[in-house]
Amino acid sequence: MDNRTRLVLGIIQVENLTELFKDNEYKDYIYNHLNPIYYELQRQLSHEQHGQETGRHGHGRTDVVSGGSREASI
């Protein structure tokens, strides 16, 4: 199974959990934990798709910016 498929399946799983707990008394608490996971999976999928379109794979370049800090660029 490739990484893109895993990410899509992970997104579906989070959506299923969101639906499963929609009537739960503590759904806000649960959603507060699921949202970061959902958006991180979306972010990774977007990077994966961008990499396929441009022929690049991985995490992108890491450039040194002024002030000595490092910043990932896509």
Task: Tell me the per-residue pLDDT of 11-67, one tens digit each, with 9 for 90 and over.
Answer: 999 999 999 999 999 999 999 999 999 999 999 999 998 887 666 655 554 443 444
Confidence of residue 73 (pLDDT cuts 50, 70, 90): very low
Q: Do residues 50 and 19 make contact, with C-beta atoms less than 8 angstroms apart?
A: no
**What global pTM score does this model have?**
0.68
Burial-class residue 7 by CB neighbours within 10 Å (0-12, 13-18, 19+). buried
